[in-house]
């Protein structure tokens, strides 16, 4: 993308006023998105993005500057601007050497090689499958997106890495109604790779899952309010783990003294059934990569072992401050943002219970099969999750669907209240927002039960 001599020159300019390291992140991204709405292919959009960001860092202080332009003048100007955060003596740049990836994520059949007309046909399939599912389906929105992000990351310690990250996603939103009652169902598989994703997760199936959710919720009653047990279906527990536990384990939040877990490494802060990891090395998983956005190799980081807190997720700045290696969690949305510690694929690993037994042994509670998203305050540990599909559990059986349910609690007590973990692990692909930056993240878990949690709802 850029020649080595220019990159060396830019990094040297960035170190003109010192700083522990300087780094250049160059990116080109081509993207396609197609939207079907109201039975029609409404719009196709293609975008070409390009830019570079220069960062100088030391301790937890940084200077960052970016530009859309990749010419020498613009890059040197950005380097000067980033250097303004420091006042020291000029420092040198080690000769740049390419680092080989340990894990490579390839697209078997790149989306860029597929005609747009074929992508349009997938969306028509979504519309058709959802509408055929039930006469109560009133509206279908299908969206398809693919992108290829090419990055070059070089830093003053001599690292030079290049990576191509192809991503693909199909999303179905289905609205069903009956007698004025309107409900929505959503489903959106995604992958790092190419269109081979749809061999495993065909568009038709995606549409049917979303349609089934919407139609099921037509029979729903308002969710109960109060404390009860919650059984989370495969994948859902991973989303909760990501929000409530994952965020407070990000090293910037810990460093700011804004994490409930700060200073508690080695303590038992979850049920002994909980084993959690963050793993960017899983081949072709949605949140994976070969190198993070600071050029560190992807890693598998153990977060909880048998309920004991065992690790943090680090970027370069925070790792440098704590005198440890980065865990490869430095990520950014694009060249327009400095990297910060982020999750990749965050999983609760399989236990030994059987999912059917977990439900059968639950006297009263909610069974959550789809989460709409959530939010956490890492400093207090308080979190809240909306449930887009949930059911009552009565006498060990899954019964009536409930709407408007959310789960609310605090990270440590709730993770300590996990009293069953099954063996049916599955993933959920999402987009995580933090400090105004969105990045693709995977979550995953088997069926698990929280013995007591506050359910917010409007019913009795």
CA distance 327 to 311: 9
CA distance 100 to 90: 29
Is 97 a residue that touches other proteins (CB under 8 A)?
Answer: no
Helix axes 72-83, 4-14, angle to 10 degrees: 20
The nearer residue to other proteins, 78 or 209, going by C-beta atoms, is: 78
Is 81 a residue that touches other proteins (CB under 8 A)?
Answer: yes
The phi, psi pair for 75, rounded to 5°, reads -70, -40
How many binding residues for other proteins (CB under 8 A)? 76
Is 48 a residue that touches other proteins (CB under 8 A)?
Answer: yes
Is 49 a residue that touches other proteins (CB under 8 A)?
Answer: yes
The nearer residue to other proteins, 49 or 302, going by C-beta atoms, is: 49
Is 181 a residue that touches other proteins (CB under 8 A)?
Answer: yes
How, if at all, do strands 364-376 and 382-394 pair?
A: antiparallel
Q: Minimum Å distance from CB 41 to other proteins?
A: 5
The nearer residue to other proteins, 212 or 403, going by C-beta atoms, is: 403
Is 371 a residue that touches other proteins (CB under 8 A)?
Answer: yes
Among 1, 5, 84, 306, binds other proteins (CB under 8 A): 84
Return the half-sphere exposure (C-beta side, CA atoms, 13 A cut-off) of residue 416.
9
Is 455 a residue that touches other proteins (CB under 8 A)?
Answer: yes
Segment near other proteins (CB under 8 A); pick from 103-111, 113-121, 187-195, 279-287: 113-121
Token pair of 9 as six digits:
């020159």
Among 6, 18, 50, 354, binds other proteins (CB under 8 A): 50
Asked if 23 and 294 count as a contact pair (C-beta separation under 8 A), the reply is yes
The DSSP line for 184-227 is EEEE--EEESSTTHHHHS-HHHHHHHHHHHHHHHHT-EEPP-EE
Strand ranges inside 286-344, DSSP E:
300-305, 308-309, 330-331, 340-341
Q: Minimum Å distance from CB 223 to other proteins?
A: 7
Segment near other proteins (CB under 8 A); pick from 103-111, 191-199, 253-261, 420-428: 253-261
The nearer residue to other proteins, 348 or 414, going by C-beta atoms, is: 414
Segment near other proteins (CB under 8 A); pick from 104-112, 114-122, 158-166, 201-209: 114-122
Asked if 112 and 148 count as a contact pair (C-beta separation under 8 A), the reply is yes
Is 405 a residue that touches other proteins (CB under 8 A)?
Answer: yes
CA distance 19 to 15: 6
Is 114 a residue that touches other proteins (CB under 8 A)?
Answer: no
Q: Minimum Å distance from CB 98 to other proteins?
A: 26
Among 12, 42, 201, 350, binds other proteins (CB under 8 A): 42
Q: Which of 266, 344, 1 is nearest to 151 (CA)?
A: 1
CA distance 255 to 234: 32
Q: Please count the other Cβ atoms lying within 10 Å of the Cβ belonging to residue 113.
A: 9
Is 182 a residue that touches other proteins (CB under 8 A)?
Answer: yes
The nearer residue to other proteins, 27 or 163, going by C-beta atoms, is: 27
Is 69 a residue that touches other proteins (CB under 8 A)?
Answer: yes
Is 373 a residue that touches other proteins (CB under 8 A)?
Answer: yes
Is 456 a residue that touches other proteins (CB under 8 A)?
Answer: yes
How many angstroms from the chain centroid is the CA of residue 137?
30
In what helix (H) or strand (E) does residue 306 lie, and over which residues does it extend? Answer: none
Segment near other proteins (CB under 8 A); pick from 88-96, 307-315, 378-386, 440-448: 378-386
Segment near other proteins (CB under 8 A); pick from 39-47, 128-136, 265-273, 390-398: 39-47
Asked if 379 and 258 count as a contact pair (C-beta separation under 8 A), the reply is yes
Q: Which of 141, 196, 121, 150 is nearest to 31 (CA)?
A: 150
Asked if 236 and 445 count as a contact pair (C-beta separation under 8 A), the reply is yes
Is 116 a residue that touches other proteins (CB under 8 A)?
Answer: yes
Enumerate residues 274-333 that contact other proteins by CB under 8 A: none
Q: Minimum Å distance from CB 54 to other proteins?
A: 10
């Amino acid at each position: 993308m850029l020649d080595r001599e220019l990159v060396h020159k830019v990094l040297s300019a960035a170190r003109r006023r010192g700083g522990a390291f300087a780094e250049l992140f160059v990116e080109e991204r081509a993207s396609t998105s197609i939207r079907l709405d109201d039975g029609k292919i409404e719009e196709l959009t293609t975008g070409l993005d390009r830019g570079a960001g220069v960062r100088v860092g030391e301790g937890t202080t940084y200077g960052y500057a970016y530009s859309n332009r990749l010419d020498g003048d613009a890059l040197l100007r950005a380097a000067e601007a980033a250097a303004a955060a420091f006042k020291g003596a000029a420092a040198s740049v080690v000769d740049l050497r390419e680092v080989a990836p340990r894990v490579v994520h390839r697209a078997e059949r790149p989306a860029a090689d597929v005609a747009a007309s074929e992508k349009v046909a997938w969306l028509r399939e979504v519309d058709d499958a959802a509408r055929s599912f039930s006469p109560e389906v009133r509206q279908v929105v299908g969206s398809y997106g693919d992108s290829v992000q090419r990055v070059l990351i070089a830093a003053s310690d001599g690292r030079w890495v290049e990576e191509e990250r192809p991503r693909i996603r199909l999303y179905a939103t289905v609205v069903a109604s009956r007698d004025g009652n309107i409900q929505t169902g959503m489903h959106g598989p995604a992958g790092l790779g190419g269109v081979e994703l749809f061999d495993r997760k065909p568009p038709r199936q995606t549409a049917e899952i979303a349609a089934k959710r919407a139609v099921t919720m037509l029979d729903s009653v308002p969710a109960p309010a109060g404390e009860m047990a919650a059984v989370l279906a495969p994948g859902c527990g991973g989303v909760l783990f990501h929000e409530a536990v994952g965020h407070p384990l990000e090293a910037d939040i810990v460093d700011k003294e804004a994490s409930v877990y700060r200073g508690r490494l080695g303590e038992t802060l979850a049920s002994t059934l909980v084993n959690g990891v963050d793993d960017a090395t899983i081949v072709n998983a949605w949140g994976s990569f070969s190198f993070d956005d600071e050029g560190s190799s992807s890693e598998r980081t153990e977060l909880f072992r048998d309920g004991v807190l065992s690790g943090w997720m680090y970027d370069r700045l925070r790792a440098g401050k704590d005198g440890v290696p980065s865990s490869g969690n430095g990520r950014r949305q694009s060249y327009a943002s400095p990297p910060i510690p982020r999750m990749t694929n965050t999983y609760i690993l399989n236990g030994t219970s059987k999912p059917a037994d977990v439900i059968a042994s639950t006297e009263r509670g909610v069974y959550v099969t789809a989460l709409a998203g959530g939010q956490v305050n890492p400093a207090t540990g308080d979190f809240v999750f909306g449930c887009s599909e949930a059911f009552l559990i009565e006498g060990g059986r899954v019964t009536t669907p409930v709407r408007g349910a959310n789960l609310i609690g605090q990270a440590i007590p709730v993770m300590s209240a996990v009293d069953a973990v099954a063996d049916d692990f599955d993933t959920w692909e999402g987009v995580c927002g933090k400090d105004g930056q969105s990045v693709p993240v995977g979550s995953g878990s088997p069926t698990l039960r929280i013995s007591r949690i506050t359910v917010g709802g409007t019913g009795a």
